[in-house]
Structure 1
Amino acid sequence: MMNRSIIKYIAFFAVMTGVLSACRIGKTYKTPDVNTGGLYRGVAATDSATMAALPWQSLFADIALKSLIQEGINNNLDLKSAVQRILAAQATLQQSKAAFLPSLGASANVTRSKQSQAGLNFPAGVTINTLTTNYQAGLSTAWEADIWGKLSGTKRAALASFLQNDAAKRAVQTQLVADIANNYFTLLALDKQLEITLETLKNRIKDVETMRQLKEGAVVTGAAVVQSEANRYAAEVSLPDIKRSIRETENALNVLLSRPPGPVSRATLASQKIASDLQTGFPAQLLINRPDVQQSELAFRVAFENTNVAKSYFYPQLTITAQGGLSSLQLSDFFNKSIFYNAIAGLTQPIFNQGINKARLHTAQAQQQQALNSFQKTLLVAAQEVSDALYAHQTAIEKEDARGKQITALQKSVEYTQELLRYSSATNYTDVLTSEQTLLSAQLSGVNDKLQELQAIVNLYRALGGGWR
């Protein structure tokens, strides 16, 4: 009869729980409304095609660069740490799911107790065994009903946190791909600048010999010889700085690859071919293509669900606990009429902790607003990076065209002034010196123009959310 009563009570509470669960007090999450119109300054997007959809293997043609990027994805320590954060978030999600299930514990104990006969205050002549041994084994369980959505809100927050960490890992990868490519192109540009400077040094060493011969022929003075020597050393003194920059860039690249410092195998700047169809798609696509924007929105979702959870603390908590097993004072009777059980169902309504609950809710609401502000800022920064990269590419192309013409003109200027110096007294070595220095500066700047073009494409690719596919 008792068993049936307990079953009825449990069934009653289960039905009531189902009814009350429909009274969920939390809000349903939806993506914040953000205005993405006009985010791409000066770009009127008419097509959803975007270079962000390209796998990084398709963006780059350089085999050495692709090998380095793959090595970085396999070994980079920041990326490995991001994977571990995903695993930790996954464990938290599993823990939040387990909260819906009742807990179950088993116990077995033997209690040996001695009572004071005088302390029991029995009438005279009545005797009782004051030394007892109690044998007990049983199971206990407890279950909290998710009436107001506290457990489900916690689970949704844990899921959003898991997805947030996954987005963070993809954001790390997109940045890693861009960093490796940009450092690689910087290395190639430095190689080219070293090559130009070495070639210039050879020419200036020849110039010194030429000036000495012209001095012997009384065509120029000793001042021209000294100036030519200074010009030679001006080129030579820049070599150590270029070599140092090469070494530092190699070391920085090795850190990204989780390698010790050492040389990096590479191609040449002239051999670089990179996708130049700079399709941006629509600004709204940043919400689905760019991992850090997704990460920021998911952080807002975590805060949103935490606010729902904070609201649930104002309402009563329904908990059902049950315990049962075997208990006997004699080991021989342990399995004979020794069954015990109890079940308790109760509602707990917070009364004196309203201040704590209000503070918890206000904190959660403030954190939710902060997360929303952060999400909106992340989207604006993403749009800024797209705009900057597009304009950097445009200006690099414009400079390359003008720079090529400048270098051609300067090369002719050097040739003409050198010839005039040989055969005309109207030209002195200062004219030659000026034209040579200007030519070297223009050649080095031309390398930087090419580097800017390549890095602008890489930065645009990352800004649009490419590199994680």
Structure 2
Amino acid sequence: MLTNPPTILRCLLLLLATAILSGCSFGPDYVRPDLELPATFRGSDVSLSDTSFGDRNWRTVYSDPTLQALIEEALTAAPDLLLAEARIREAEAVAGITHADRLPQLSLSFATSPTARQPGDDLTSTFLGGAAISWEIDLWGRMRRADEAARADLLAREETGRGVYITLISQVATGYYRLLAEHDLLAVATRTATNQRESLRLIERLSTAGIATDAEIRQQEVALAVTEATIPAQKRRIANAENALSILLGRSPGSVLIKTGTEPDLPADIPAGLPSQLLEKRPDIMAAEQQLIAANARIGEAKARFFPSLSLTGLFGQVSTSASDVLTGSAASVASLGADALQPLFAGKRLLYNHEATRTRLDQSVITYRKTILTALAEVANALTNYRYSGDILTIQQQRTASAREALRLAESRYQAGVISYIEVLDAQRQLFAAETDLVQARLDRRLTLISLYLSLGGGWEEPAT
């Protein structure tokens, strides 16, 4: 029991000196692994530059006002984004708990303990109440490494949330353009069916005049039925696409208003920037690096457990054999300050295995980090290649559609002139229907490859408004 103020002062000075000496930490400090990155992306035809398409604001990439409104709605109500934000808050709380372990713990206590009883004495107890303080001195940096790991886990969770954010933007854009394509396909089917009905009425008039045959009427009826059958199926796909997009927006399944908007900017060549920029741009890479930092810090935490722990404890209160005296403050005062040291001697190799486990987790994190980078490089390369060739395919499909449309016009003219049979007209109708359908798909693919390229370059993130 310490009642002498100089003695207490010396203990406090000892406490301060111990805290200063606790500046060392076991375990390696983090150093980013050596990475052999290519000078440029495969498939990039743009001259080497640090300008990246991924640096553009998503509003300039997706300039359609209707799409922008849908993205804004998703960024405020999408379940995936709300879930990611909740997980970040959880990681913040866990990091706070870990950091709190480094601080002194102060509490109020009231305890009782038995008192030795002599023969003939009544049963009695000693009551002790007061303020207790406990502080584990981080001599070997175990708690600092744990704090470092927890903070890295938090940053990894934040990067994962950023990845959800930019992925959500791309998913809404993808869903929107798919829905537009489904409407375009419905328009193609409806227009084709309308033209085929006109052709059927023409053949019926020609048949009345003795020019066309009943067989030609039946052939046109079959062709019309085939086209009309695609219309309800297409309406079903539109409903399914609307339901999928509604979920992304955080809505109940329902219709989504589609307006004719602005065509996205589809340049011939897109600057991809430098591969090294992905390390600071892609959320998945940055999250993997933070997980690597956490795994590295936990090696020091595990190593520090081999060494003794030191805790300083103190109690300032009152003691008495009467509980009421302690509660009313009339009991004798007591003050104590001391240190507890604990050195592990034998734990069944538990500490050794724990240290080995942290080292293997670090190895796994390094492998995961490198794999994430390789995957990112492949995604950018694939997106660049797909975008370039999707432009070639779109051009070919546009030419094919124009040719098929002209072929149908010529076939109808030649049939009416009696030069060809109606079979050739039917074939020209089928060719145009297929060409227009494939053109819609080619236009959709072109848009989707742009979205994929923008996402693979880490594009879409913007700092939340404060």
Verify same fold: TM over 0.5: yes
**Do structure 1's residue 169 and structure 2's residue 161 form an aligned pair?**
yes
Structure 1 residue aligned with 2:445, among 435, 447, 452?
A: 452
**Do structure 1's residue 273 and structure 2's residue 274 form an aligned pair?**
no
**Do structure 1's residue 342 and structure 2's residue 336 form an aligned pair?**
yes
The CA distance in 1 between the partners of 2:296 and 2:266, in whole Å, is 41
Instruction: Pick which of 107-116 and 259-268 moved more.
Output: 107-116
Question: What residue is the counterpart of 2:255 in the other structure?
Answer: 263
Tell me if structure 2 keeps the 8 A contact 1:65–1:181.
Answer: yes
Q: What is the aligned length? A: 456
**Do structure 1's residue 27 and structure 2's residue 21 form an aligned pair?**
no
Tell me if structure 1 keeps the 8 A contact 2:149–2:293.
Answer: yes
Question: What residue is the counterpart of 2:76 in the other structure?
Answer: 74
Structure 1 residue aligned with 2:285, among 286, 293, 309?
A: 293
Q: What whole-Å deviation, never above 9, does each CA across 1:386-438 have from its counterpart, x for those lacking one?
A: 1222222211211222222211211121111111112235x212211111101
Instruction: Pick which of 61-70 and 399-408 moved more.
Output: 399-408
**Do structure 1's residue 185 and structure 2's residue 187 form an aligned pair?**
no
Structure 1 residue aligned with 2:274, among 269, 273, 282?
A: 282
The CA distance in 2 between the partners of 1:13 and 1:194, in whole Å, is 79
Q: What whole-Å deviation, never above 9, does each CA across 1:316-356 have from its counterpart, x for those lacking one?
A: 11111122321234667986782222222233211111610
Q: Once the 2 structures are TM-superposed, how far is the Cα of residue 25 of structure 1 from its aligned partner?
A: 1.8
**Do structure 1's residue 248 and structure 2's residue 250 form an aligned pair?**
no
**Do structure 1's residue 302 and structure 2's residue 294 form an aligned pair?**
yes
Higher-Rg member (1/2)? 1
The CA distance in 2 between the partners of 1:16 and 1:217, in whole Å, is 112
Task: Give 5+ residue unaligned stretches, structure 2.
Answer: none
Tell me if structure 1 keeps the 8 A contact 2:108–2:131.
Answer: yes
CA RMSD, 1 decimal: 2.3
Question: What residue is the counterpart of 2:9 in the other structure?
Answer: 7
The CA distance in 2 between the partners of 1:285 and 1:45, in whole Å, is 16
Name the amino acid aligned to 1:279: P
**Do structure 1's residue 417 and structure 2's residue 419 form an aligned pair?**
no
Q: Once the 2 structures are TM-superposed, how far is the Cα of residue 114 of structure 1 from its aligned partner?
A: 9.3
CA change 1:137–1:16 in 2 (3 A) is closer
CA change 1:141–1:275 in 2 (3 A) is farther
CA change 1:135–1:369 in 2 (3 A) is closer
The CA distance in 1 between the partners of 2:230 and 2:209, in whole Å, is 32
- Counterparts of residues 328-367 of structure 1 (less than 5 Å): 328-329=320-321, 338-353=332-347, 355-367=349-361
Q: Once the 2 structures are TM-superposed, how far is the Cα of residue 108 of structure 1 from its aligned partner?
A: 3.4
Name the amino acid aligned to 1:297: E
Query: TM-score scaled to structure 2, two decimals?
Result: 0.91
Tell me if structure 2 keeps the 8 A contact 1:112–1:134.
Answer: yes
SS in 2 for 1:148: coil
The CA distance in 1 between the partners of 2:157 and 2:353, in whole Å, is 28
Question: What residue is the counterpart of 1:124 in the other structure?
Answer: none
CA change 1:391–1:84 in 2 (3 A) is same
Question: What residue is the counterpart of 2:103 in the other structure?
Answer: 101
Structure 2 residue aligned with 1:433, among 426, 430, 450?
A: 426
CA change 1:77–1:106 in 2 (3 A) is same
Tell me if structure 2 keeps the 8 A contact 1:60–1:275.
Answer: no
Structure 2 residue aligned with 1:318, among 310, 319, 338?
A: 310
Tell me if structure 1 keeps the 8 A contact 2:61–2:264.
Answer: no
Tell me if structure 2 keeps the 8 A contact 1:48–1:282.
Answer: yes
CA change 1:352–1:111 in 2 (3 A) is closer
- Counterparts of residues 59-138 of structure 1 (less than 5 Å): 59-108=61-110, 115=117, 117-118=119-120, 130=122, 132=124, 134-138=126-130
The CA distance in 2 between the partners of 1:282 and 1:227, in whole Å, is 59
The CA distance in 1 between the partners of 2:124 and 2:243, in whole Å, is 77
The CA distance in 1 between the partners of 2:265 and 2:307, in whole Å, is 60
- Counterparts of residues 142-153 of structure 1 (less than 5 Å): 142-153=134-145
SS in 1 for 2:193: helix
The CA distance in 2 between the partners of 1:135 and 1:397, in whole Å, is 85
Q: What whole-Å deviation, never above 9, does each CA across 1:98-121 have from its counterpart, x for those lacking one?
A: 112111111235779794625xxx
Name the amino acid aligned to 1:449: A
The CA distance in 2 between the partners of 1:460 and 1:40, in whole Å, is 12
Tell me if structure 2 keeps the 8 A contact 1:45–1:282.
Answer: no
Q: Once the 2 structures are TM-superposed, how far is the Cα of residue 69 of structure 1 from its aligned partner?
A: 0.3
Q: Once the 2 structures are TM-superposed, how far is the Cα of residue 134 of structure 1 from its aligned partner?
A: 4.3
Question: What residue is the counterpart of 1:36 in the other structure?
Answer: 37
Tell me if structure 1 keeps the 8 A contact 2:40–2:274.
Answer: no
